[in-house]
Chains A and B, each alone.
Chain A
Amino acid sequence: MIYRLLKVELYKIFSRPRSYIGFVAIAILVFIFQLALYVDGKTYLTFLIQQLESNFTIEGNILNGYLITYIILQTLIVQMPLMVALVTGDLLSGEASAGTMRLLATKPISRASIITAKLIGGSFYTLLLVIWLGGLALGFGLWIFKPGDLMVLSTDHISIIPAAECLWRFFAACVIAFISLSVVTTFSMMLSAFSDNSIVPIVTTMAVIIIFTIVGTLDVPLFNNIKPFLFTTHMIVWQKLFQDPLPVSKIINSIVIMFAYIITFLSITYYRFIKKDILS
Chain B
Amino acid sequence: MSKSNSSGKPLITIEDMTKVYQMGEHEVWALKGVSLHIQEGEFLSIMGPSGSGKSTMMNMLGALDQPSSGTYTLDGVDVSQLSDNALADIRNRKIGFVFQNFNLLSRTSALQQVVLPLIYAGHKGRRQKAMDALQLVGLGDRMDHKPSELSGGQQQRVAVARALVTEPAIILADEPTGNLDSKSGIEVMEIFQKLNREKGITVIFVTHDPWIARHTKRVITLADGKIVRDEQVPQPLIAGESKRPSDTLLI
Q: Are A and B co-members of a single complex? A: no
Mark A residues whose CB is within 8 Å of B.
Answer: none
Mark B residues whose CB is within 8 Å of A.
Answer: none
